[in-house]
Each structure stands twice: as structure tokens, then as C-alpha cells.
Amino acid sequence: MTSSSLPAHRPLRAARRPAVALLGAALVALSACNQRQAAAPVPPPPPEVGIVTVAPQPIPYVRDLPGRVAPTRIAEVRSRVSGLVVKRLFEQGSTVKEGEVLYKIDSAPYEVELASAEASLANREAALVLANQQAERLETLLARNTASQAQYDTAFAAKKQAEAEVAGAKAARDRARLNLSWTDVRAPISGRIGRALLTEGTLIEQGATGVLATIQQLDPIYVDITQSVGELNKLRRDLASGELSKLENDAANVHLIMDDGSLYPLAGRLLFSDVTADPSTGQVTLRVLIPNPNDELFPGMYVRARIKQGIDSDAIAVPQQAIQRTADGKAEVWLVKDDNTVVLQPVEVGPVVGQDWLIREGLKAGEHVVVEGFQKISAGIQVKPMDRTVTKEPESGKPHDPDEAADTEAKRQAASQVR
């Protein structure tokens, strides 16, 4: 290659330079565009929340009320006659039957008294036989006109007097026999007898009012519970207006809550409510009859009675975890609207029934209430609702106090805000 041919290649190189520059600029621009697209944020998917659909359901109107256990029957064992106690025939704390002999009192004086009364009766009966014979004889003579009317009248009166004396002697004999029978002190009722208050060798004096023992009938047993006059009147108005349905007659509608929080296994029924309110407390006493076959309930025990007083046939209730509380303690729930946005809805809550809050106002059938995922939501955002079936745990038997439940819910929300 000669030096004269070199200048012929320079124009080609000069032509390539602009093309290379344009290609580089295009690559730089494309790279910058890709970087901008990679840096653009991708919107997150809507958060999932668990919901339940509000539906009316029959819910019993249940109240937990304080009460005291009382025996259905109570009897004090007393002696009707005086004398020395010679024997006790029962075991303290055992069950006795009506008519069973509990104490024996020295019967010797009363046996003598009975023998004397029987002898007196025999004497009077003999006098009556003589008077009857005399009256019959004079009646025959009077018919023959050999005796006067006055003589017959005297004999007839003597007969009647003898009959009266026989009747009196029989009464004295029966009294002596009754006193003798009373030396066996018997149980006036069946039930559980307490401790012996008198021992052998004790002298019971005439007219004494000492108690030998006490018998209480404990199966079935009473529970006297109290309810405020205002609550009772409102209940009656609700039943009269049809807002609450009445329970079936003789339905077992009362359960007892023991000291340890467990439920007493047998249900009872409400007998009546008192017609007089306690002026110092404004409470009315309601009496419940409940079986007690194993003597688990004792007179004087304090219990809480869970009493079913009616049925709300179209009540609305939501799980307890659905209820939120405002700073001033008012209740509200999160609702999922048709466009899947969430809003807060104020509600008025009633008592706790099982594991649900009874809603008095603020919700209607068909609305969707959030029960899970509260930490992910705020008012107005869209969510992905997921149906949830809240598992109903077996009742522990502990009373459901609305104030206690509200405090628990407030603590739970405070903990979630800290997290």
C-alpha cells in the first residue's frame, strides 16, 4: 500500500463517528429509562381481614345475679314432755326419715300415769254399767206405773253422768298414752340432721323450749337471688311488648356458678318473685328451686345464678374481639362496605352472651364486621375480606361481666397499639 492511497480511507472513518455517537446516546437514554422504571414503587395488595356477616338469631336474655342457698324445709326437734334424756339414736350429720326416733326420754313416769288412767277408766265404766241397769229397771217400773216419773228421771240423769265420766276417763287415758308416746322424740320431717344440742342425762323441764337438733331438707333446695326493681320492671315491659319471648312453663332456666367459677351440673327453675322490695337496697328476691342429690349445695352458701328470663328471637350479636373502644370508652366496630373499604361504626352493646356481645343499636342484618386484621387497616382503605367462622369454645362456667369484658378489650387494644 502506498502513501497516496491513505487519504482515501479518512472520509469513511469520519462518517462512522456520528453513528457511533448516536448509538451511545440511545443506549444511555434507554438505560436511564429502565432505571426510572425499576425505581417506581409497586402498589401493595389490599390487606386481608377476617369478617363475619351479621345475621339475626334467637338469643336468650341471661342475667348473672347473686344469691344465697336456703333449705326448702327446716324443722327444730323439740321434746313435748319433760323428763330425763336417756338415749340418742341418730348419727350427727346423717340423713333421717320422717317419724324416725331420734331421742328417748325416761318413760317410766308416763307408763305409771297411763296405768292410773286406765284404772280410772275401768272404774267409770263399772259405774256406767250400774247406772244403765238402774235406768232400765226404773223405765220398766214406770211403764207398769209402779215407779214415779221423778225416780226414773233421777236414774236417767245418773246414767248420763256416768257416760260423761267414762268419756272423761277415756280422754285422760288417751292423754297419758300420748304423753308416753312422746317420750320417743321423732323426726318431724325427712332431711339432713345437724349436731346434737343435748346429750344423754340432760333433764328437760316442763315448758322448756330447748332445741334438741335441727333437720334441714336439702334436696331439692332453694336459691334466693336478688334483682333490682328497675331491671325486673323493664323485663316485664319487654315481655309484654313482645320484644322478648316468654320461656316455656316449668323450663329449667337457671344455672348456678360456684365459687371456683365452674357451673353446677343441674339446672333449676324460677318459682316466683317476691312482691315486696327491700327498702334499703331496692332489690326484689326471686326464689329458684334446684335439685341437690349429692348435697353439693349447703344452706348459707353464696352463689351466682345465671338466670334465663326470656328469649330475643331476632337479636344481633358479634364476637367479642370485633368490639373496639374509643378513648372515652364508647363501643364501635369496623365495617367492610360493598366497595371493600372499611369504616368505623359506633354501636350500643348489651350484655355478653357466651362469647358474643349483644348489639342493641348500630348494626343491621347483612353487614360485614371485621374480626381479624385490625392492625392492617385504617379508615377508608380497601381490604380483601375473608369469611371467618369464630370457634365457640365450651363455656367455662365463669360469669360474663360486661365491664370486665370491656376492660379486657381495652387492654388488648392498648397492647396492639404498642406493638
pLDDT at 338 over 70: yes
Highest average pLDDT, of 98-102, 275-279, 296-300, comes from 98-102
Per residue in 215-253, pLDDT (tens digit) is 998 888 999 888 887 777 777 776 676 656 666 655 557
Q: What is the pLDDT of residue 114?
A: 93
Please check whether residue 371 is in contact with residue 86, taking contact to mean a CB–CB distance below 8 angstroms: no
Q: What percent of the chain has pLDDT above 70?
A: 78
pLDDT-derived band at 3, boundaries 50, 70, 90 = very low
Please check whether residue 269 is in contact with residue 252, taking contact to mean a CB–CB distance below 8 angstroms: yes
Domain boundaries, the chain: 50-58+313-418, 62-71+217-312, 79-106+183-210, 107-182
Length of the chain in residues, anyone? 419
pLDDT at 349 over 70: yes
Q: What is the pTM of this model?
A: 0.60
Q: What angle in degrees, to the nearest 10, is found between the helix axes of 149-181 and 108-143? A: 160
CATH architecture of 62-71+217-312: Beta Barrel (2.40)
Task: List Cβ neighbours of 39 (8 Å cut-off, separation of 6 or more).
Answer: none
Q: What is the pLDDT of residue 46?
A: 84
Give the integer Cα–Cα distance in Å for 389 and 372. Answer: 11
Q: Which residue has the higher pLDDT, 282 or 340?
A: 340
Q: What is the pLDDT of residue 26?
A: 56
Task: With CA atoms as reference, report the closest residue to 374 among 320, 332, 318, 322.
Answer: 322
Distance of CA 159 to the CA centre of its chain: 70
pLDDT at 98 over 60: yes
Encode the chain in three state secondary structure: CCHHHHHHCHHHHHHHHHHHHHHHHHHHHHHHHHHHHHHCCCCCCCCEEEEEECCCEEEEEEEEEEEEEEEEEEEEECCCCCEEEEEECCCCCCEECCCCEEEEECCHHHHHHHHHHHHHHHHHHHHHHHHHHHHHHHHHHHHCCCCCHHHHHHHHHHHHHHHHHHHHHHHHHHHHHHHHHCCEEECCCCEEECCCCCCCCCEECCCCCCCCEEEEEEEEEEEEEEEEHHHHHHHHHHHHHCCCECCCCCCCCEEEECCCCCECCCCEEEEEEEEEECCCCCEEEEEEEECCCCCCCCCCCEEEEEEEEEEEEEEEEEEHHHCEECCCCCEEEEEECCCCEEEEEECEEEEEECCEEEEEECCCCCCEEEEECHHHCCCCCECEEEECCCCCCCCCCCCCCHHHHHHHHHHHHHHHHHC
CATH architecture of 79-106+183-210: Beta Barrel (2.40)
Cell of 300: 348459707
pLDDT-derived band at 307, boundaries 50, 70, 90 = confident
Of 290-294, 300-304, 356-360, the range with the lowest mean pLDDT is 356-360
Q: What is the pLDDT of residue 374?
A: 83
pLDDT at 51 over 60: yes
Highest average pLDDT, of 151-160, 165-174, 271-280, 347-356, comes from 165-174
pLDDT at 306 over 60: yes
Residue type, 338: D
At the topology level, CATH places domain 50-58+313-418 in 2.40.420
Residue type, 398: K
Q: State whether the Cα torsion 411-414-416-418 is positive or negative.
A: negative
β-pairing, 356-361 vs 302-319, is antiparallel
Cell match 232400765: residue?
A: 136
CATH numeric code, 107-182: 1.10.287
Distance of CA 419 to the CA centre of its chain: 41
Please check whether residue 219 is in contact with residue 291, taking contact to mean a CB–CB distance below 8 angstroms: yes
Q: What is the pLDDT of residue 12?
A: 45
Report the chain's mean pLDDT, rounded to a whole number: 79
Q: Which residue has the higher pLDDT, 314 or 34?
A: 314
Give the integer Cα–Cα distance in Å for 168 and 173. Answer: 9
Q: Which residue has the higher pLDDT, 29 or 387?
A: 387
pLDDT-derived band at 259, boundaries 50, 70, 90 = confident
